[in-house]
Amino acid sequence: MRTERTLLAVVHNATAATRLLDVLPLFAEDPRVQVVFTCPDSSAFTRGTAEYLAGHGIPLVPWTEALDEDFDWALSASYGGDLHELRAPLTVLPHGMGYNKFLETGNGKPVFGLSEQWLMHEGEVIAEHHVLSHPEQLDRLREYCPEAAENAVIAGDSCLDRLREAHGLRESYRQSLGVTGEQKLVLLSSTWGRHSLFGAQPDLPARIARELPLDEFAVVLALHPNIEHGHYPWQLRMWLRDCERAGVLVLPEEDLWQPAAVAADVTVGDHGSVTYYSACLGTPVLLASAPHEAVDPASPVAALLRTAPELTGQNLAVQLGTAAQAAEMAAATALATSVPGQSAALLTELGYRTLGLPPPEQPGSFRALPLPRVQRPEPGAQWVRVHGDEVTRFAAAATTRPAGAQLVVHVDSPDPRLLRRADILLGERFPEPGRWIALTLAEFPHCEWVACPAGPGWLAGSRTGHVVSFTGTDLPQAVPSLLYAREGQGLGLPGRLPFTAGGGEHETQLTVHYG
């Protein structure tokens, strides 16, 4: 197919790739424009970039070849590498919320994206256009690198525009993330580096999840891609195993933090962009890490760090359940963009002017945020308390048993230390459920009840000889705890058993076969 212009997308790492893939549909859907991708291999986090792009059906042109060719326009979402050697007018977008962080170099602490080190080469400004979202960034650019200020373009924040536009799909995102009823969705967000949430407190996601009632809260973790690409996937999976055992949904794709941010009731974060974007959406923010020394004190993120409350180690459920956005936060979030909702139009005008083409009659637009195709993990071991008809469940660890709690363990991914201590064991849909119940009770003498899916519902058996089937509930894993509690209190097993969990009302129908 013959095209009229060629656009070179310069991808430094997976994080920059996500921002470019947000913006490129404005031009890539135009049959007059061919987009070509390359990677300068200058980022410390380049590893994984080629694989990420290959997953989107995008091959890379070698950087040395890209430097030898003429292009009509080059678009990047980061700095670094020999960008000055490109044979094309270069436009650079921020790959996060503006420019806030210091990057240590020698004795100085230049602000990434606003300092001479990134913007100049041998006295010449590298980029034709420095895209900014707000005049406050231009003020800092004039202070830190006045030569580049003449090339600044205020074009809004494409990411924030997409997030705000997606608000109408909030319930769709919540249910796609496994949030049910009146559950509160807690988004844990970590940027990269030793001062980040995950860098400073890698055990925090699991600790939070284990202190929150499972039926009242859902916990989602969004990690900056640099964490995985800096350590490699297997190691990160090992570090995350405990928080997944605690029921934390670790978002598997780089762009799923966006629908999670729209869906969240509260965000626990640090000095990364996700925390700031959450605040811009009006979501209450609590800081697990607030490294003021890591950000430009004149930046919007620094203003957020000075304003948002810090998460303390006590009464997490109360803090997260009652968090509210401070009125003072409005001053910090107002610095996100000076042209809300206009980013697509402004970038389209800039791009087609640079390409030397008239915009199409129907200009391109940003894509809607994706629906997460994920499944929130159910903790394989749970502490369960039963008070009357109320069930409260927590993710369990191999620690001291809480007062009055039953230990319920699923046989699929157990901690051996917990298996032998379990009061109740849950199984899969086995071919012979009755045989499994009998032999499991014989094998685990501490266990009082076992249950597994069978027929249209579940089948449960007790050490005292009860065999009960039950149907009709969307929370079947809670029913054996009710049966165990009633048995311990000398109560009978009725045909209809209503109960509550997390404020939601449930009911199951029982059929007693023996006992």
Q: Flag whether pLDDT at 103 surpasses 90.
A: no
- Over residues 178-195, the pLDDT tens digits come to 999 889 999 999 998 999
Q: Where residue 98 falls among pLDDT bands split at 50, 70, 90?
A: confident
In 3-state terms, the chain is what percent helix, strand and coil (to 5)? 35, 25, 45
How many Å apart are CA 11 and CA 22, to the nearest integer? 13
What does the pLDDT average to over 164-170?
A: 97
* Interstrand relation of 90-92 and 129-132 (parallel, antiparallel or unpaired): parallel
Greatest pairwise CA separation for the chain in angstroms = 88
Q: Flag whether pLDDT at 314 surpasses 50.
A: yes
How many Å apart are CA 122 and CA 84, to the nearest integer? 10
* Interstrand relation of 249-250 and 152-154 (parallel, antiparallel or unpaired): unpaired
CB–CB of 133/98 below 8 Å? yes
Q: What single-letter DSSP state applies at residue 156?
A: -
- Over residues 14-38, the pLDDT tens digits come to 889 999 999 999 999 999 999 999 9
How many Å apart are CA 262 and CA 185, to the nearest integer? 10
How many Å apart are CA 175 and CA 376, to the nearest integer? 11
Single-letter code of the amino acid located at 377: P
- Over residues 390-444, the pLDDT tens digits come to 999 999 987 788 899 999 999 997 788 899 999 999 999 999 999 999 999 999 9
- Residue whose pair of structure tokens reads 């990047």 in the numeric block: 76
pLDDT (0 to 100) of residue 107:
46
Return the structure tokens found at 350: 């800039």
Q: Where residue 112 falls among pLDDT bands split at 50, 70, 90?
A: confident
3-state secondary structure 347-378: HHHHHHHHHCCCCCCCCCCCCCCCCCCCCCCC
pTM comes to 0.93
pLDDT (0 to 100) of residue 229:
72
Return the structure tokens found at 439: 């032999």
3-state DSSP call for residue 147?
helix
How many Å apart are CA 215 and CA 130, to the nearest integer? 47
pLDDT (0 to 100) of residue 515:
67
DSSP assignments along 271-299, one per residue: SSHHHHHHHHTT--EEES---GGGB-TTS
How many Å apart are CA 170 and CA 187, to the nearest integer? 14
Burial class from Cβ neighbours inside 10 Å (0-12, 13-18, 19+) for residue 455 reads exposed
Q: Flag whether pLDDT at 172 surpasses 80.
A: yes
Domains in the chain, ordered, with CATH? 5-159+338-355 (3.40.50.2000), 166-333 (3.40.50.2000), 381-514 (no CATH)
Highest mean pLDDT: which range of 111-115, 235-239, 242-246, 381-385? 381-385
Q: Flag whether pLDDT at 43 surpasses 50.
A: yes
